[in-house]
Amino acid sequence: MKCLARLIVAGCLLTLTASGLVAPANVIAQENLDAKIAEQQKLADDAAARRMAGEPAIQAARAKGKELSTAITTLKIEQNKAEATVKDGDAKLPMLQEAVKKATDERTKLETESAAAAKVALDAKGKDTEQAEADKSKAAADKVVAASKVLEDALKAVQPIETALAAARKVVAEQPAKIKAAEAANVAFQPELVAAEATFAALGKEAVAKQIDVEGTLVQAGKLVSFAKSVAPIFSQRCLACHNARTAKGRLNMETFANLMKGGESGPSVVVAKPGESLLQTMIEDHSMPKDADPLTAEQIAVIKKWIETGTRLDAGVAATAQLITIIPKLTQPAPPESYRVPVPVMAVAFSPDGNLLATSGYREVILWNPADGQIVRRITNIAERPHDIEFTADGTKLAVAAGT
C-alpha cells in the first residue's frame, strides 16, 4: 500500500507538471528572482533618492556659476556701451561747444549794443529823437533776449552730452578692474563647480547603474523587455527604411524612442501596456507592415508585444532622443585567423597620405604594414568577411572600410 501511495503521489506530481503548473524548483527560482528584484529595487530607489537629494546643491552651484558668468558679461556690455558713448560724445561735443561759444559771443555783442542804445535813448529824452532812440533801444534789448534764448538752448544741448560723457569716462576707467575681479571670482569658483558636477554625476551614474541592475533581473524574470537590446534592433532592421526623419511614411518617424512614442498621422503608435490597442502591434500582427516586405517573424512580433505589455519602457541611462542605431547592441564579427596557411586574395589596398602606412585587406581584417620594412604595424579586426575597399582620410587619422561577404 505504501508503494502504491508513493506511485500515486509521484503520478500526481507528474500530472501536475505535465498540466503546465510550475514545478517546485521553478517556483523557488521565481521566488528568488522576485526577492532579488525587490532588493535591487530598494537599492535603486535609495540611489534615486540620493540623486534627488543632491539636486539642490548642484542647482545652487550652477546658479552661482551662471550668476558669476552673467556678471562678467554684464560688465563687458556696460564697458562697450560706455566706450561707444565716449566715442559718440567726443564726436558731437566740439560742435555743440562751438555753438555755445558763438551764442555767448553773440549775446555779449548784443548786450554791448543794447547798453549803448539805452544810453543814446536816455540822452535823447526831451529831444525830437527821443521816440526813435527809444525804439532802437527796445529793439536792441529784444535781440539780447533772443540771443539769450539761443544760448540757453545751446547750453541745454551740451549739458546732457557732458553729463553722459563724464559718467561714461568713469565707467571706462573703472570697468577693467571690475571685470578682472569678476573673472577672478569666476575662476576661483570653478573648482567648486567642477566638484559639485562630479558629485552629482556620480550620484546619477549610481542611480542609473542600480536601475540597470533591476531591469536586468526583470528581463531575466520575464517581466520586462529591453527596448535597446531587443526591440530597437528589430525596428532598426525592419522599419527605419520607411520610417525615418527624411522618409517618414504616415508621418511616423521611428529613428528615436521619443519620435516612436509621438506616433504619426494616425495617432499614437503604441498604447502603454495595451498591445491590443496599439496600432503598431496590430499592423505587424496582420502583416500589413512592413509594407511590400517580408513580415516580422513570430518571435519578433512576440518581443514587441511583450515590450508593450510590460510598459513600453526605455532602458535606464538611454536618452529618449538617441538614434536607434546608436543604442542597439554592436554586432561583432568572428575573429580572423591567427595566421594564413595559404595566401588569400587581396581585394583592397590603400596608402596613407604620408606614405608611412600600407593598408591591405585580409580575411575578416585589414592589415596595416610599414612599407619600409614590410612589418605588420596593426591588425584591425571585427570586420566582415571580405573587405572590398579601403580609404584613408585626408589627415591619415582614420580608415574607412567597406566589407561584406
Residue showing cell 555767448: 104
pLDDT digits (tens, 9 = 90+) for 76-106: 999 999 999 999 999 999 999 999 999 999 9
The amino acid at residue 288 is S
- The residues, ordered by sequence, that sit 6+ positions from 176 with a Cβ below 8 Å of its Cβ are 79
CA separation for the pair 31, 16 (Å, rounded)? 19
CATH 1.10.287, the chain: domain bounds: 43-109+144-218
Q: Would you state the pLDDT for residue 22?
A: 44
CA separation for the pair 217, 33 (Å, rounded)? 7
Q: Would you state the pLDDT for residue 12?
A: 37
CA separation for the pair 280, 305 (Å, rounded)? 9
pLDDT at 65 over 80: yes
Q: Would you state the pLDDT for residue 126?
A: 85
Residue pair 227/257 in contact by the 8 Å Cβ criterion = yes
**The CATH number, out of the four listed (1.10.10, 3.10.590, 1.10.287, 2.40.50), of the domain defined by the range 43-109+144-218:** 1.10.287
Residues 287-308 have a mean pLDDT of 95
- At residue 7 the predicted structure's pLDDT band, cuts being 50, 70 and 90, is very low
pLDDT at 13 over 70: no
Residue pair 380/356 in contact by the 8 Å Cβ criterion = no
- The residues, ordered by sequence, that sit 6+ positions from 255 with a Cβ below 8 Å of its Cβ are 240, 243, 244, 245, 323, 324
pLDDT digits (tens, 9 = 90+) for 102-155: 999 999 999 999 999 899 989 888 888 889 888 998 998 999 999 999 999 999
pLDDT digits (tens, 9 = 90+) for 246-291: 999 999 999 999 999 999 999 999 999 999 999 999 999 999 999 8
Torsion of CA 44, 48, 53, 54, to 10 degrees: 110
Residues 197-215 have a mean pLDDT of 98
**What phi, psi does 6 have (nearest 5°)?**
-65, -40
